[in-house]
């Protein structure tokens, strides 16, 4: 089946347009968190004049894509609040050095919501950005991008790994209410 999928992708004109044309840069290897949503990484993506916030769970590689009306700290915070209300508050938020992540408003939000902020080098979140750009090709194919995202998150991700991003992601959530760490493990 993997061979058939590769052949299909190689024959797809749209896939060829969005394929990687440069070898991937070496990325630093970070440890995988013990549970979902314990650590998230965020980055901004610009695509055809639109701005998107990409949020990646480091445990499962499950990610969220949010279109922003404006790429401001305030708009990003509103998206993050929705994610935290659904999935729980991450213990650690890593991002690059975009000014939106280092603004006074964002730092104040991080303190209030008990987020430890870490800065990473550009390129460490690039895998999710690349996937997100490919996800945007659904518009070119006149397909529903949300169905594309659903399918992506429900497909097994690596050979030998029989679970999808969504299966690895959904578990217990963390909030501002104190909890025993063992109870958060799924």
CATH number assigned to the domain comprising residue 116: 3.30.420.10
Q: Which residues contact 25 (CB under 8 A, 6 or more apart)?
A: 123, 126
Q: How much is the pLDDT for 24?
A: 46
Q: How much is the pLDDT for 185?
A: 47
Classify residue 28: in a domain, yes or no: no
Tell me the three state secondary structure of residue 126.
helix
Residue 96: domain span: 35-184
- Total tally of structural domains belonging to the chain: 1
Q: How much is the pLDDT for 77?
A: 96
How far apart, in whole angstroms, are the C-alpha atoms of residue 30 and residue 49? 32
Q: Could you report the per-residue pLDDT of 7-30, keeping only the tens digit for each?
A: 666 666 655 555 554 444 444 456
Give the percent of the chain with pLDDT over 70: 60
Q: How much is the pLDDT for 168?
A: 75
pTM confidence score:
0.69
Q: How far are the Cα atoms of 50, 75, 179 from residue 141, in angstroms, in the given order?
A: 18, 29, 46
Residues of the chain with pLDDT below 50 are 21-28, 171-173, 183-186
Q: How far are the Cα atoms of 25, 111, 186 from residue 158, in angstroms, in the given order?
A: 20, 36, 21
Contacts of 131-134 with CB under 8 Å at 24 or more apart are 131/63, 132/45, 132/47, 132/52, 132/54, 132/63, 132/65, 133/18, 133/45, 133/47, 134/18
Q: How much is the pLDDT for 38?
A: 92
Q: What mean pLDDT, rounded, does the chain reach?
A: 75
Classify residue 79: in a domain, yes or no: yes
Q: How much is the pLDDT for 83?
A: 94
Backbone angles phi, psi at 177, to 5 degrees: -75, 125
The pair of structure tokens assigned to 82 is 């929705």
Classify residue 8: in a domain, yes or no: no
* DSSP-assigned beta bridge partners for residue 41: 56, 94
Classify residue 150: in a domain, yes or no: yes
Give the percent of the chain with pLDDT over 90: 24
Classify residue 53: in a domain, yes or no: yes
Classify residue 17: in a domain, yes or no: no
Using DSSP bridges, classify how beta strands 39-47 and 50-57 pair: parallel, antiparallel or unpaired: antiparallel
Classify residue 19: in a domain, yes or no: no
How far apart, in whole angstroms, are the C-alpha atoms of residue 124 and residue 26? 9
């Amino acid at each position: 089946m993997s061979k058939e999928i590769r052949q299909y992708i190689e024959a797809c004109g749209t896939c060829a347009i969005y394929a990687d044309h440069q070898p991937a840069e070496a990325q630093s290897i970070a440890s995988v968190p013990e549970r979902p949503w314990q650590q998230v990484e965020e980055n901004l993506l610009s695509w055809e004049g639109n701005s998107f916030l990409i949020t990646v769970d480091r445990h499962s590689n499950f990610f969220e894509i949010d279109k922003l009306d404006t790429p401001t700290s305030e708009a990003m915070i509103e998206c993050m609040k929705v994610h935290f209300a659904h999935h729980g508050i991450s213990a650690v938020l890593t991002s690059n050095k975009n000014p939106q992540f280092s603004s006074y408003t964002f730092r104040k939000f991080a303190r209030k919501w008990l987020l430890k902020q870490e800065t990473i080098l550009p390129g460490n979140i690039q895998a999710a950005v690349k996937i997100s750009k490919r996800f945007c090709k659904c518009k070119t194919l006149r397909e529903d991008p949300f169905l594309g995202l659903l399918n992506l998150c429900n497909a097994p991700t690596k050979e030998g790994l029989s679970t999808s991003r969504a299966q690895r992601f959904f578990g217990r959530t963390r909030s501002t209410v104190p909890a025993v760490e063992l109870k958060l493990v799924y």
